[in-house]
Amino acid sequence: MKKYSELTIDIKKSIASAYDLNLPKKKMEEVKSHLAYILPRLHEPNTLINQIKEALAFIHEQEGRTQSWKDWLVKPVLVAIATGLITAPISFYVGITIEKSKAAECEAHTKNKGITNQ
């Protein structure tokens, strides 16, 4: 990968490259990282700020289009399953504990009043 100092010489070339749909993925990543590196260093009223933002938005949109449904679906599903596997036993244990404590409390309360089940 090129040094950012070399890439800053030609920002407009990077902006133009961002719209090139035939650019290899690795080169597109370089363009994206270059533009993301340059953007916070520019200050108003620089006219390139909006152009860079639009180019980055275009790159992001293209990445979303080329991304497989498996890529964006698998991660949330795995997180949901892992969360369920962790929280289910905890919820079950807490529920049983609450049920036992309420049963013990009810039993103690009925014994104090002299009420029996017989």
| Residues 88 and 50 grouped into a single domain | no
> Could you list the residue range(s) of the whole structural domain that residue 12 is in?
1-67
74/32 same-domain check: no
The predicted pLDDT at position 98 comes to: 93
Do 82 and 113 lie in one domain? The reply is yes
Check whether residue 41 and residue 87 sit in a common domain.
no
Residue 106: the pLDDT is: 86
Would the pTM count as exceeding 0.75?
no
Using one digit for the tens of pLDDT, what is the confidence trace for 40-97? Answer: 888 888 888 899 999 999 998 988 777 777 777 888 899 999 999 999 999 999 999 9
Same-domain check for residues 61 and 72: no
Instruction: Mark 16-39 as b/e (b = at least 16 C-beta within 10 Å).
Output: ebbeeeebeeeebebbbebbeebb
Residue pair 14/28 in contact by the 8 Å Cβ criterion: no
Same-domain status, 19 and 63: yes
Q: Among the three residues 67, 89, 107, which one is the final residue of a domain in this structure?
A: 67
Note the pLDDT of residue 48.
Answer: 85
Provide the number of structural domains found in the chain.
Answer: 2
The per-residue pLDDT for range 14-54, each reduced to its tens digit, is 899 999 988 888 999 999 999 999 888 888 888 888 999 99
SS3 content of the chain, % helix, strand, coil (to 5): 80, 0, 20
Please tell me the predicted confidence (pLDDT) of residue 118.
55
The answer on 72 and 62 residing in a single domain is no
User: Same domain, yes or no, for 1 and 52?
Assistant: yes
- Indicate the residue type of 86: I
Q: What is the DSSP string of 31-73?
A: HHHHHHHHGGG--TT-THHHHHHHHHHHHHHHHHHHS-HHHHH
In this structure, are 59 and 75 located in the same domain? no
